[in-house]
Amino acid sequence: DAGVIQSPRHEVTEMGQEVTLRCKPISGHDYLFWYRQTMMRGLELLIYFNNNVPIDDSGMPEDRFSAKMPNASFSTLKIQPSEPRDSAVYFCASSSQETQYFGPGTRLLVL
Amino acid sequence: AQKVTQAQTEISVVEKEDVTLDCVYETRDTTYYLFWYKQPPSGELVFLIRRNSFDEQNEISGRYSWNFQKSTSSFNFTITASQVVDSAVYFCALSEADRDDKIIFGKGTRLHILP
């Protein structure tokens, strides 16, 4: 298996623009997680899905963030409008039987 | 409440030395899982090991070994004969059974292996 795939790997955008991050989980995994990592706050869980259904989005910082999982092989995290404080590395992870495997991350810079 | 504490924020050792990364956890569950992840300078998060609460056997994988002690709620990680490539941030993590595979991460220990 190719592992968790994320795109893009790097994104530079201007404040106010919409940003969409994409994730393809490992086939057969029934959980999908979105995290954000910054120096100040470390690794934060934003939202997670089970069988494509959002279970807990209490970590989503504000309404500008939204996530979807239209099918078992694809998820998106959208930020609209983006702000400089959203600059971070965003990780997607998928799991089956308690172990999470992470994608390579998307490094987002909002100018 | 569940919590993972990695008291060592940063450690530097000279290559070939042994180094132990400490991890202390808190949970009220009797069934739980403990993990270590490695984040090298390239940034990806790499799964290293998972341990369930009923298996206190220590584990060795090459130069890596893990010591799980329920009596002290610790799950320490030792690298023997460290190498420069071991330089990374190491995260200890905890997951409780029936919690949707959610993991609580420690804040990480940044390990520098000096040549």
Q: With H, G, I as helix, E, B as strand and everything else as coil, classify residue A86.
A: helix
Per residue in B70-100, is it b (16+ CB within 10 Å) or e — as a string? eeebbbbbbbeebeeebbbbbbbbbbbeeeb
The pLDDT value given to residue A1: 63
In this predicted structure, the answer to whether residue A11 has a pLDDT above a threshold of 90 is: yes
Of A43, A48, A107, the CB nearest to B100: A48
Polymer length of chain B:
115
Kindly report whether the peptide bond that precedes residue A81 is cis, defined as omega within 30 degrees of 0: yes
Closest Cα of chain B to A11: distance in Å?
A: 15
Q: Which residue has the tokens 């959203």?
A: A86
The answer for residues whose C-beta is within 8 angstroms of residue A99's C-beta and 6 or more apart is B33, B35, B47, B50, B101
Q: Answer whether A6's CB lies under 8 Å from A22's CB.
A: yes
Please identify among residues 79-108 of chain B the ones whose CB lies closer than 8 Å to any CB of chain A: 91, 95, 97, 100-103, 105, 107-108
Give chain A's end-to-end CA distance (angstroms, integer).
Answer: 36
In this predicted structure, the answer to whether residue A109 has a pLDDT above a threshold of 90 is: yes
Phi and psi at A86, nearest 5°, equal -85, -5
Residues on chain A touching B53 (C-beta within 8 angstroms): none
List per-residue pLDDT tens for chain B, 115 residues long.
789 999 999 999 999 999 999 999 999 999 999 999 999 999 999 999 999 999 888 888 899 999 999 999 999 999 999 999 999 999 999 998 877 788 899 999 999 999 9
Query: What's the pLDDT tens digit per position in A50-105?
Result: 999 999 999 998 899 999 999 999 999 999 999 999 999 999 999 987 889 999 99
Closest Cα of chain B to A42: distance in Å?
A: 7
Instruction: Decide if A98 and B95 are in contact by the 8 Å CB cutoff.
Output: yes
Q: For B16-87, where are the E strands, in sequence order?
A: 19-21, 24-26, 32-39, 46-52, 59-61, 64-69, 74-79
Which one of A100, A106, A107 would you mutate to disrupt binding with B, by most B Cβ within 10 Å of its Cβ? A100
Query: Is beta strand B32-39 parallel, antiparallel or unpaired with respect to B46-52?
Result: antiparallel
CA torsion, ordered B1, B2, B7, B8, to nearest 10 deg: -160
Per residue in A10-35, is it b (16+ CB within 10 Å) or e — as a string? ebebeeeeebebbbbbbeebbbbbbb
Q: Which residue has the tokens 């009220």?
A: B28
Q: Which residue has the tokens 């990780």?
A: A91
Instruction: Decide if A43 and B50 are in contact by the 8 Å CB cutoff.
Output: no
Of B50, B100, B107, the CB nearest to A99: B50
Residues on chain B touching A51 (C-beta within 8 angstroms): none
B3 reaches A (C-beta below 8 A) = no
The answer for residues whose C-beta is within 8 angstroms of residue B65's C-beta and 6 or more apart is B58, B59, B77, B78, B80
Q: With H, G, I as helix, E, B as strand and everything else as coil, classify residue A78.
A: strand
Provide the mean pLDDT of chain B: 93
Residue B52, CA distances (Å) to A63, A99, B15, B18, B35 in order: 37, 11, 31, 25, 9
B47 reaches A (C-beta below 8 A) = yes
Instruction: Decide if B43 and A99 are in contact by the 8 Å CB cutoff.
Output: no
